[in-house]
Chains A and B, each alone.
Chain A
Amino acid sequence: MSVGVIGFQMYTVGDSAVHRLDPRVKLLLLVAFLYAISFSVWTPILPLFILAFSLILAVLAGKQTFLNVVKGVFLSVGFIGVFLCVLFPLYSPFNRTILGTLPMIGIPYYYEGLYWAVYTTYRIFALFTYGMVFFATTRPQHLVKSLIDMGLPYDIGHMILASIAVFPLLTEEFDRVKTAQQSRAMMAKGFLERFRQAVALIIPVVGSALGRGETQAWVLEARGFTSPGEKTSLFQFRLRRQDMPVIIFTLTIIIVNTYLLIRYGYLVDPLGWNREVVAPFLLFLNANVIVFLLMAASLSIRRLQKR
């Protein structure tokens, strides 16, 4: 499941100040954070700031939104973090200091790679936390409408919305076909067997998705989807007074980062932090974040089970 799909599925109904912000402003802030995180490579302060800011937004958006954000981040970053922590210590251009060798195969793994993996996970974690706040507080329809307002072709916008609507149906269909197979004495034994059975499910599910897509295309056509002229929408967005502080904040981030980038360059720590000193701090922080996420996930699962 891609991160984008998780994101689009995680909108949580609410009426907080964060929910009410103009989707374009929230999107612009996401772009600013992406820019800042991408270029301020050796500055651990910035991700920490984004993380704290995003968590405050999540709390302001309500309890359920906060839980959904934590769950979404855990699902997406957990996988990426494990992948990076396995790959980078083995193969990274920064690798210098050998920490040990892998048993059986004898490949060395390096301190710098591990540090880089943990640090990258930490940066992604910070960015995704805001990303999840963005998705959890922005209705997909509003998001697509704001994208259309910013120049996205109407047809593509509609395609995005249709895909979002179809995805839960496909998931449901996938589960139903799987249950239908299990009700004919099918048992999943071992990884390979499960994989083989999952592949067998693809045919009916994709077949059904194509059929559904075709039907929807006809239905849209029957209601004049391709008729010429400008399309109107139920939602019309206008910037309001409460959006202004966020816009100013976003512009500040972009300007400060651009200044730092020009003044100090891509791979320089402007505060002069020594990465040997920073590394243990980051490891400690990451461990805390993982423990926090595990606790939040187990709480969410328990809550779901109680239901």
Chain B
Amino acid sequence: MTNEDVVTTNNCWYTYNGQNYVLSGIDFRLGKGELVGMAGENGSGKTTLVKHFNGILRPSKGSVTVFGKDTTRISMARLSADVGYVWQNPNQQIFARTIREEIEFGPRNLHRFFRQITSEEVDTRVEEALEKFGFKQRAESSPYSLTYGERKFLCIASIWAMRPRLFIIDEPTTGVDPSTANKLREIIEELHREGCTVVTISHDIHFLTFFHRLVIMHDGKILLDGPTRKVFTNIDTIRVAGVDRPQVAELSSRLGDMPEDCLTPEEFANAFIHVYQTRKRVEK
């Protein structure tokens, strides 16, 4: 493990029932400031793996080290100061009477139980989070009055207020419309720009294209791990994992002369124009 490593898992195995292993000997390293996407079929072990990063789960065999600390020797509450976990279903995270209280919960605990920040700092962070995520005018409203998409933002805001160095966001795009998904993407990019290491699980392949690194999981193992563009060129392996490629990448492959690593419509259009013009020149 180097100083830059945020998470290191060594031969990590995990079982929920003592019989079937959901994770089978995972070796994984996450560097500081990385923007990582995770994909894979349901039950492939994505959520189980990331739940090891903030101590919700402890490995049945092997070890998980987060910011140099063995997760089996540190409480989840203490680890949460460094690792923020945004749950897939916001309704499982939200419980306070008002939006302000919901955001305040985490930082207030950091003050109450660990004396990590002052009470004034808690108030400042809450105000900043309300402002940043657009809840300022509704701070005293019930979180249950928010739409599903807004609740997702509230969950991210409540974790952001704790200023974790590692952000884990579990399936943020599930059940939200494309416009909310785009906003979520902007938020994640902003977190990354602020210096956070971000790990996001998603089934939305289009959403995953902007991550720098992509991890594909299958049957409790990491099948592919590398730069997103490169991972999507492993057509056969991706198929085994039951993950779709971005439509433009698929279209490029089928057109033959096109580069296989197109990830966005813009890239596809540029490549297509380039190929078309080259052909035209050759024909002339």
Interface, chain A (partner B; CB < 8 A):
173, 176-177, 179-187, 189, 200-201, 203-204, 207-208, 306-307
Task: Please give me the residue from chain B that is nearest to A306 by CB atom.
Answer: B18
Mark out the residues of chain B between 149 and 178 whose CB falls within 8 Å of any chain A CB in the assembled complex. 158-159, 162
Chain A interface SS verdict (over half): helix
Contact call B94/A185, Cβ cutoff below 8 A: no
Q: Which among A184, A187, A203 is the interface contact of B106 at CB below 8 angstroms?
A: A184
The answer to whether B110 and A185 touch across the interface, beta carbons within 8 angstroms, is yes
How far, in angstroms, from A180 to B109 measured CA to CA in the complex? 13
Instruction: With CB as the reference atom, state the residue of chain A lying closest to B107.
Output: A185
A-B contact pairs, 28 of them (CB 8 A): A176-B92, A177-B93, A177-B95, A179-B76, A180-B92, A182-B76, A182-B77, A183-B54, A183-B76, A183-B77, A183-B80, A184-B80, A184-B105, A184-B159, A185-B78, A185-B80, A185-B106, A185-B110, A185-B114, A187-B77, A187-B109, A187-B113, A189-B113, A201-B95, A204-B92, A204-B94, A204-B95, A307-B17
Would you call B28 an interface residue if the criterion is a C-beta within 8 Å of the partner chain's C-beta atoms? no
A-B contact count (CB 8 A): 64
Closest to A173 in B: B92
- Hey, which bits of chain B sit against chain A, CB under 8 A? 17-19, 54-56, 75-78, 80-81, 85, 87, 91-95, 97, 105-106, 109-110, 113-114, 144, 158-159, 162
Please, how many angstroms separate the alpha-carbon atoms of A208 and B54 in the complex? 25
Q: Report the bound CA distance from A189 to B112 in whole Å.
A: 11
Q: CA–CA, A307 to B60, complex, Å? A: 11
Residue of B with least CB distance to A211: B91
A177, B92: Cβ atoms under 8 Å? yes
* Cα(A183)–Cα(B105), bound, Å: 11
Alpha-carbon gap, A207 to B113, bound state (A): 28
Nearest residue, chain A, Cβ from B158: A184
Q: How far is the CA of A179 from the CA of B51 in the complex (A)?
A: 11
Alpha-carbon gap, A299 to B214, bound state (A): 46
CA separation between A59 and B197, bound complex, in Å?
A: 56
**B159: A residues at CB distance < 8 A:** 184
Contact of A184 among B17, B92, B144, B162 (CB under 8 A): B162
Q: What residues of B have a CB within 8 angstroms of the CB of A177 in the complex?
A: 92-93, 95
CA distance A236 to B110 in the complex (A): 59
- Closest chain B residue to A201, Cβ basis: B95
A184 engages B109 (CB within 8 Å) = yes
Complex-state Cα separation, A2 to B177, whole angstroms? 43
